[in-house]
């Protein structure tokens, strides 16, 4: 697994928008913030062109901007401006050959999970993290501070108080995951999630309980749960009832579809569509400890590349 080099003061980064349309004010603020970290910031050429009602720009223009930063030797990280929907329309048309010669960090979450899975399929680590569109959200400080520290090479442990529904245990494995809908959306494709021996992190927003259940069933039926090393549940935000109440909590749904396995399960990790949304490194070697007092996710030193 290739680990892109940590950022240094004076490095250049590029902001792209591979998914939903974005607000230019938010990007201006995010740019100033990244500059305050000592970075030079370039903005994708077409991120404000407004030639599609939903996407930040047409597929061709979003591909152009992303490809430009993938190829540009001086760009040391690609910061995805926001999620929404749209990454899967373009990921198969990106050419990662230059990028593989000089890997760089790619950051984002939610719809950007699709990109992380594509990067996992080519064995390059990436950074699941908050996005520029949310840098100025109230209470985003911690998420942004963690992102900065991690881009500059730190690997802080995430510790959370024990949840009574946690399943205790110890897991070692590479981290993978993100938005549950996008994980399921990868099934059958060239960037299908490979969970074997890994610590899987899941979060979601705005889904119905029955859909959440259906997605967990699909993961189980596609054998993506049975060989996990561990499971970490982040935030499940605004989960809704449908015509009939489902009357099962998110935790119970997750436990129900993993009850035949023995790996540890930890809830309430600060990852997802709420603050703080702390970053994690997709593809990094990590250890999950779930005991009576707490659950913690910590990074191991990488001995070799890959």
Closest CA to 154 of 296, 275, 299, 303: 299
Query: Which member of 203, 207, 275, 282 is catalytic?
Result: 203
**Please, what is the minimum distance in Å from the beta carbon of residue 17 to a second copy?**
13
**Where does the chain show beta strands of DSSP type E?**
12-16, 40-43, 75-80, 105-108, 126-128, 158-161, 169-179, 199-205, 230-237, 265-266, 280-282, 285-290, 294-299
Q: Pick the closer one to a second copy by CB: 155 or 214.
A: 214
Characterise 197 by phi-psi region: left (phi > 0), alpha (psi -120 to 50), beta (else). left
**Residue 273 annotated as catalytic:** yes
Rule CB under 8 A: say whether 214 interacts with a second copy. yes
Rule CB under 8 A: say whether 37 interacts with a second copy. no
Q: Which stretch binds a second copy (CB under 8 A): 86-94, 99-107, 272-280, 281-289?
A: 86-94
Q: Which stretch binds a second copy (CB under 8 A): 75-83, 124-132, 243-251, 279-287?
A: 243-251
Q: Which stretch binds a second copy (CB under 8 A): 132-140, 166-174, 182-190, 289-297?
A: 182-190
CB-based contacts of 21: which residues, under 8 Å, 6+ apart? Answer: 50, 52, 53, 54, 55, 56, 84
Q: Which one of 245, 262, 301, 303 is in contact with a second copy (CB under 8 A)?
A: 245
Q: Which one of 58, 136, 149, 189 is in contact with a second copy (CB under 8 A)?
A: 189
Q: Which one of 48, 152, 210, 261 is in contact with a second copy (CB under 8 A)?
A: 210
Question: β-strand 105-108 against 126-128: which pairing, if any?
Answer: parallel
Rule CB under 8 A: say whether 260 interacts with a second copy. no
3-state secondary structure of 1: coil
Q: Which one of 94, 205, 217, 287 is in contact with a second copy (CB under 8 A)?
A: 217
Question: β-strand 280-282 against 105-108: which pairing, if any?
Answer: unpaired
Residue 15 to residue 45: CA distance in whole angstroms: 10
Residues found near a second copy in the complex (CB under 8 A): 20-21, 52-54, 84-85, 88-89, 92, 185, 187-192, 209-211, 213-214, 217-218, 221-224, 243-247
């Amino acid at each position: 697994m290739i680990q892109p080099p940590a950022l240094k003061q004076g490095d250049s980064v590029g902001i792209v928008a591979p998914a939903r349309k974005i607000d230019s004010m938010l990007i201006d603020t995010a740019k100033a913030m990244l500059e305050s970290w000592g970075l030079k910031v370039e903005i994708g050429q077409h991120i404000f062109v407004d030639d599609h009602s939903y996407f930040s720009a047409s597929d061709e223009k979003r591909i152009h901007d992303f490809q430009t930063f993938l190829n540009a030797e001086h760009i040391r990280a690609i910061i995805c401006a926001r999620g929404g929907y749209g990454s899967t329309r373009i990921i198969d048309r990106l050419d990662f050959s230059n990028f593989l010669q000089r890997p760089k960090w790619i950051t984002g979450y939610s719809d950007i999970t699709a990109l992380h899975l594509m990067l996992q399929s080519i064995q390059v680590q990436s950074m699941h993290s908050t996005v520029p569109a949310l840098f100025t959200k109230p209470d985003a400080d911690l998420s942004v501070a963690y992102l900065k520290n991690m881009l500059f090479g730190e690997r802080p442990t995430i510790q959370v108080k024990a949840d009574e529904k946690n399943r205790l245990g110890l897991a070692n494995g590479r981290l993978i995951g993100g938005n549950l809908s996008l994980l399921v959306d990868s099934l059958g494709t060239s960037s299908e999630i490979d969970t074997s021996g890994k610590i899987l992190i899941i979060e979601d927003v705005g889904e119905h309980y029955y859909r959440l259940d259906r997605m967990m069933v699909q993961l189980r039926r596609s054998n993506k749960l049975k060989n996990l090393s561990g499971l970490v549940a982040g935030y499940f935000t605004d989960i809704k009832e449908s015509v009939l109440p489902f009357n099962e909590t998110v935790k119970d749904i997750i436990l129900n579809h993993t009850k035949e396995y023995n790996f540890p399960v930890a809830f309430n990790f600060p990852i997802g569509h709420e603050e703080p949304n702390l970053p994690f490194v997709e593809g990094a070697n990590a250890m999950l400890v779930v005991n009576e007092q707490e659950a913690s996710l910590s990074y191991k030193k990488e001995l070799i590349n890959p």
